[in-house]
Amino acid sequence: MKVGVFSCKPYDKAMLESANSDGHLSYTFIEEPLTPLTAIACHDFDAVCIFVNDKVCGETVRALADAGVSHIALRCAGYNNVDVDEAKKLGLRVSRVPAYSPHTVAEHALALILTLNRKTHKAYNRVKEGNFDIQGLQGFTLHGKTVGIVGTGRIGQAVARILSGFGCTLLCYDPMPAQSVKALGASYTDLQTLLSTSHIITLHCPLNEGSYHLINEETIAQMRDGVMLINTSRGGLVNTQAVIKGLKSKKIGYLGLDVYEMESELFFRDHSLEIIQDDEFERLASFHNVLITGHQGFFTQEAMQEIAAVTVANIRMPGENNDNFLAP
């Protein structure tokens, strides 16, 4: 089978190759993203393998179908960038890796919380330069604080388990409550109560029509003064202009992002010698209490191995695990 691997980085290539040691799949590794334009050139592929910022809108899906591609294999969990309905209509398979390692992303959310709070990134730089002054590095004790978890699926549950170990009070919001979270002593509540009560709010729900800009001026206004907001889920959950306002007014006291709504223009590439044109991103990055990572929540050795193994299995044996298939 011939597979076009889009948005491909050296680490993707290494993992996908090692998951295909018998050479059953024949890969073409392509650095460019899959878009309506690059989809036109997919005549040679039976399947395309894509990542979070490939633009698989209706136009791309139709171009893939015209080119004879039969399978869109996502090497990630979220699928908000794929027009699944159009794929279903045209008979294309769409697979993903729904549960490679929820702990991996949960641990990254914790890294953002702990770094923002205890300012270890600033301490590292100070000590490197021989500055041992701790003025300005004061944090707060996590034990006993209330953390609001929006979305308690696989990753939200892993976050809940970790934070319960820290001695936090857990408030959760999810239309489908999880028994395992209740068993930790967490309570489910409505979104407004979660927003108005939590010292820390962490987002773990998918991006869809219902959750787009879930964090906006109105919902930020409901939060506690000085709240810590963490988003490791998808950038579109957060209205960037609204959080900039919230940071300027000090309503938001800490912001930790692994995802950003316009990230497809920036993330996963080195722009260090360019002038970044995205003024909203630059404004965000300028705040001393904002910590941004470039969508690396998934990026551990264990998760990458699992992603590659499941992606290869999805392409080779599409009938094997229906839970991984969004279409047909």
**Exactly one of 86, 234, 261, 306 is catalytic; which is it?**
234
Measured over the CA atoms of residue 144, residue 255, residue 115 and residue 117, the dihedral's sign is negative
x/- site string to ligand NAI, residues 285 to 304, per CB under 6 A? ----------x-xx------
Q: For the CB of residue 208, give the shortest distance to ligand NAI in the complex, in Å.
A: 7
Q: Are 103 and 158 in contact (CB under 8 A)?
A: yes
Q: Which of residues 175-194 bind ligand NAI (CB under 6 A)?
A: 175-176
**Residue with the closest Cβ to ligand NAI?**
153
User: How many residues touch ligand NAI (CB under 6 A)?
Assistant: 29
Q: For the CB of residue 219, give the shortest distance to ligand NAI in the complex, in Å.
A: 11
Q: Which of residues 98-157 bind ligand NAI (CB under 6 A)?
A: 102, 105, 150-156
Q: For the CB of residue 100, give the shortest distance to ligand NAI in the complex, in Å.
A: 8
Q: For the CB of residue 138, give the shortest distance to ligand NAI in the complex, in Å.
A: 29
Q: For the CB of residue 111, give the shortest distance to ligand NAI in the complex, in Å.
A: 12
Q: Which of residues 16-35 bind ligand NAI (CB under 6 A)?
A: none
Q: Which of 145, 234, 260, 281 binds ligand NAI (CB under 6 A)?
A: 234
Q: For the CB of residue 120, give the shortest distance to ligand NAI in the complex, in Å.
A: 20
Q: Which stretch binds ligand NAI (CB under 6 A): 19-27, 36-44, 232-240, 316-324?
A: 232-240
Residue 96 appears among annotated catalytic residues: no
Residue 143 appears among annotated catalytic residues: no
Q: Are 108 and 297 in contact (CB under 8 A)?
A: yes
Q: Which is nearer to ligand NAI, 40 or 162 (CB)?
A: 162
Q: For the CB of residue 168, give the shortest distance to ligand NAI in the complex, in Å.
A: 19
**Exactly one of 263, 265, 280, 283 is catalytic; which is it?**
263
Q: Which is nearer to ligand NAI, 55 or 154 (CB)?
A: 154
Produce one character per residue of 217-236: b if its CB has 16 or more CB atoms within 10 Å, e if not.
eebbeebbeebbbbbbbbbb
Q: Which of 54, 86, 258, 263 binds ligand NAI (CB under 6 A)?
A: 258
**Exactly one of 295, 302, 316, 320 is catalytic; which is it?**
295
x/- site string to ligand NAI, residues 206 to 225, per CB under 6 A? xx--xx--------------
Q: What is the 3-state secondary structure (H, E, C) of the chain?
A: CEEEECCCCHHHHHHHHHCCCCCCCEEEECCCCCCHHHHCCCCCCCEEEECCCCCECHHHHHHHHHHCCCEEEECCCCCCCECHHHHHHHCCEEECCCCCCHHHHHHHHHHHHHHHHHCHHHHHHHHHCCCCCCCCCCCCCCCCCEEEEECCCHHHHHHHHHHHHCCCEEEEECCCCCHHHHHCCCEECCHHHHHHHCCEEEECCCCCCCCCCCECHHHHHCCCCCEEEEECCCHHHECHHHHHHHHHCCCEEEEEECCCCCHHHCCCCCCCCCCCCCHHHHHHHHCCCEEECCCCCCCCHHHHHHHHHHHHHHHHCCCCCHHHEEEC
Q: Which stretch binds ligand NAI (CB under 6 A): 12-20, 61-69, 134-142, 168-176?
A: 168-176
Residue 32 appears among annotated catalytic residues: no
Q: For residues 115, 121, 126 and 128, what is the CA-based torsion angle, rounded to 10 degrees?
A: 130
Query: Where do contacts with ligand NAI occur on this chain (CB under 6 A)?
Result: 77-78, 102, 105, 150-156, 173-176, 204-207, 210-211, 232-234, 258-259, 295, 297-298
User: Which residues are the active-site residues?
Assistant: 234, 263, 295
